[in-house]
Structure 1
Amino acid sequence: MGEGNDSGKVLEIHTADIKLTAPVFHVQAKNLSAALTTLVTTLDGLGSPWGDDEQGKTFGDAYSPRQKAVEKAAGTLVLGLTSIHQAMADMSDGHVDNDELIAGMFTKVKEKVDADGKGAK
């Protein structure tokens, strides 16, 4: 697309590419989930290292809600990557099934011949 070479195809889907790419999303979801777990356990293990003086409390009041927001956003990304993996796998399977269905619609039907050698109606 965009190179001036119009093959006349509206959409070209390579199911093999989809099947190869889909697991990448699963792997990256697992990697992000592990990183998120490390982040949360490390930060929780630190407690409130900024102290309880006025400056520490000001920092903690600003930091803590943002920490939870980052953790929640990363969790949403993990779910998103996992759902992309599943959707790509389903799309690939559905595309193959659809191709087979369409191919069956356009396959020439052989005429049945009855006992007297004439075409059946």
Structure 2
Amino acid sequence: MRDIPVNLNGYKLVIVEPPAPKMRDDGKGGLMPVTDQQGVTQFVVALFAKLRVGPGERAPKGEEIKVTLATDPGDGFGEDVRVELLDAKLNPYQIDNGQGRVSSGIAFKAMGLKPVGGPVQRGGGGDK
């Protein structure tokens, strides 16, 4: 299964690493940008995802996720900005290193980002 739609509306998503072009080792000691099948450069953003809870409830520990973006999100997506993912999907993967070790997980991707409110307030109240 590929490109499984995912609804992350129940989570607060906060940028911890601003969007940047996704890079891959070119095999010659350098890096080259990752592109899709049409040659469009892909971007990557790191988000902190934390479950939204009701008043008086305690949220479980959050997690950092990396999301591949199909488009350049543009300006205004710096650190600590709350966002929503546009057309979010996930893909399970499994990689066998050929020596008996297998890694598996899920990879997130989205068409883009949408800002939600302003920057996250740290310390003295506000969202954490």
Task: Looking at secondary structure, tell me which structure has more helix per residue.
Answer: 1
Shorter chain as normaliser: what TM range? under 0.3
Write 1 or 2 for the structure with the bigger share of strand.
2
Larger Rg: 1
State the TM-score, normalized to the length of structure 2.
0.18
- The higher-RCO structure (CA 8 Å, 6+ apart) is 1
